[in-house]
Amino acid sequence: METNQRRQRSTIKQNTQNKKISKRSVNRRAKKNKNNYMKAHRKKFSFRKSLSRSTGFYLDYSLMLIMIILIGIGLVMVYSSSSTTTDSLKGVLKSQVIFAVFGLLMMMIVARVLDYHILTNKYVARGLYIFSLILVLLLLTPLGKNYNGATRWIVIGGFNFMPVEFVKVGIIAALACRISSLGEKMKYFRVVVWLIAWYGVVPAAMLYFISNNLSSAIIILGMAFLITFVAYPGYKPYIAMFAGATAFISVAFSAILSAIQKGDGFRSTRILAWLHPEDYADGEAYQTIHGLYAIGSGGLFGKGLGKSVVKLKLPEAYNDMIFTIICEELGLFGALCVLIAFGVLLWRIAHVARNAPDMQGALLCAGVFSHIALQVLVNIAVVTDTIPNTGVTLPFISKGGTALLILLLEMGVVFNVSSQIKDELNE
């Protein structure tokens, strides 16, 4: 009996050990299979892999069409506005056409070959942001060029450009990267305040104090505000922030006016010219007065292409004040068509942002949207004397090779995001 009981105990013990071994082996195999499955199906957006795309390509033809229409209107109006000089075709228009063609080629490369996730790579995004701030600091060196009381250009050899255009790209990439990495921390408003301070207030303050460029500083601060607004789950703190900013501006405005009456400077003269343009018709308000005359004299359908009178009096009418020439030569109808074209362009970009494959794509599109929208609003407000003259160009239409090239590269990113939306739908 004892022998049988011992055998039975040893058998039970051996079976128990076998069961433990089998459970361990099964768990080990299951874990191994799970790791193999995760490795096979995990999406890796590494720097090297994000340089090229493995999926097909879909082109948003409606977005492309409206963008080409705006560029075409810009080239026609640049030629019409610069036709007062004999070298307009060889100089102003030629350089704008070269930048437009080169920008379209670069846009197609960005849209077709690269993957937009490369911009949200932390090393690329931080590098672009830091590089753009270094360009702003270069304005303090002999490379900075002073023009009309403000140092906004960098001249290297025979090539000149505005660092602010690179700052806009750096802010879009850096904010898209940083917000994507924060995840659920974006629900805390203190994180939003920190993002606006670091990626909005810092570059805006540098531009204002180094280059005396208030308009670009406002646009950059507005871009940071809008991008974080898209990512933040609530809206009540933004309403409170907007109300506080409005109250601060209204209180400070009276103090600024009283200080302006006592001083005479670059900024104070511009504000006085905005408040009383008739008193500065031959000075700071010269462009504003003639611009308003051009808008009023255009009528419903304008005087016709090339028949503007105001362009003979305005220096470089193809830059900031080109919308006034559009109003004079094409009338109210032509001006409304241009504004509708911008509205359709922004609507298509917003559509891409809403349907982007991931947060990175949505934030990049939101950054491009804010850049174009704010610049259009500020330019139209300036030429209609709603705000003081600040020197902001009209996107895709005003002359400016660097600005047009940067805008087309940004549009290439939007096309890249939209093409990957189509790829996911096909899958």
Range with the poorest average pLDDT among 17-26, 39-48, 93-102, 262-271: 39-48
- Kindly tell me if the per-residue pLDDT of 35 is higher than 60: no
- Kindly tell me if the per-residue pLDDT of 101 is higher than 90: yes
Q: Which two tokens stand for residue 256?
A: 């600024």
Residues 13 and 11: their CA atoms lie apart, in Å, by 5
What is the predicted pLDDT for the residue at 11?
59
DSSP states of 87-117 as a string?
Answer: TTIIIIIHHHHHHHHHHHHHHHHHHHTS-GG
pLDDT per residue over 139-198, tens digit each?
Answer: 888 887 777 666 778 888 777 888 888 999 999 999 999 998 888 888 888 888 899 989
Residues 395 and 413: their CA atoms lie apart, in Å, by 17
Range with the poorest average pLDDT among 11-15, 35-39, 156-160: 35-39
The dihedrals phi and psi of 151, each to the nearest 5 degrees, come to -100, 100
* 409-416: average pLDDT: 94
Residues 139 and 153: their CA atoms lie apart, in Å, by 7
Q: Which two tokens stand for residue 328?
A: 């004079």
Q: How confident is the model at residue 426 (pLDDT cuts 50, 70, 90)?
A: very low
What is the predicted pLDDT for the residue at 3?
59
- Kindly tell me if the per-residue pLDDT of 423 is higher than 70: no
Chain CA centroid to CA 154, Å: 21
Residue 304: CB atoms within 10 Å: 12
* 321-329: average pLDDT: 89
What is the predicted pLDDT for the residue at 43?
40
What percent of the chain stands above pLDDT 90?
A: 28
What amino acid is encoded at 374 in this protein? L
- Kindly tell me if the per-residue pLDDT of 368 is higher than 50: yes
What is the predicted pLDDT for the residue at 251?
64
Q: What is the mean pLDDT of the chain?
A: 79
pLDDT per residue over 117-140, tens digit each?
Answer: 898 888 999 999 999 999 999 888
- Kindly tell me if the per-residue pLDDT of 76 is higher than 50: yes
Phi-psi region of 29 (alpha: psi -120 to 50; beta: other; left: phi over 0): alpha
Residue 146 is classified by DSSP as E
What amino acid is encoded at 350 in this protein? A
What is the predicted pLDDT for the residue at 63?
92
What amino acid is encoded at 60 in this protein? D
What is the predicted pLDDT for the residue at 65?
94
What amino acid is encoded at 145 in this protein? K
Q: Is 167 helix (H, G, I), strand (E, B) or coil?
A: helix
pTM higher than 0.85 = no
**Higher per-residue confidence, 102 vs 88:** 102
Q: How confident is the model at residue 343 (pLDDT cuts 50, 70, 90)?
A: very high
Highest mean pLDDT: which of 162-166, 211-215, 237-241?
A: 162-166
- Kindly tell me if the per-residue pLDDT of 373 is higher than 70: yes
What is the predicted pLDDT for the residue at 50?
44
The dihedrals phi and psi of 160, each to the nearest 5 degrees, come to -130, 145
Which residue's entry shows tokens 């874990």?
31
Contacts of 280 (CB under 8 A, 6+ apart): 269, 272, 273, 286
What is the predicted pLDDT for the residue at 273?
67
**Higher per-residue confidence, 278 vs 53:** 278
Candidates 69, 130, 131; CA nearest to 100 is 69
Asked whether the beta carbons of 352 and 362 are under 8 A apart, the reply is no
Candidates 338, 339, 305; CA nearest to 80 is 305
What is the predicted pLDDT for the residue at 54?
47
Q: Which two tokens stand for residue 41?
A: 């199906």
Q: Which two tokens stand for residue 145?
A: 């060029």
Residues 65 and 43: their CA atoms lie apart, in Å, by 33
* 3-23: average pLDDT: 54
Domain ranges (residues) in the chain: 53-182+277-426
Asked whether the beta carbons of 107 and 415 are under 8 A apart, the reply is yes
**Higher per-residue confidence, 298 vs 85:** 298
What is the predicted pLDDT for the residue at 427?
44
Q: How confident is the model at residue 314 (pLDDT cuts 50, 70, 90)?
A: confident
Residue 332: CB atoms within 10 Å: 14
Q: What are the C-alpha distances in Å from 375 to residues 161, 293, 410?
A: 18, 23, 14
What amino acid is encoded at 387 in this protein? I
* 32-54: average pLDDT: 44
Q: Is 352 helix (H, G, I), strand (E, B) or coil?
A: helix
* 265-291: average pLDDT: 68
Residues 109 and 68: their CA atoms lie apart, in Å, by 17
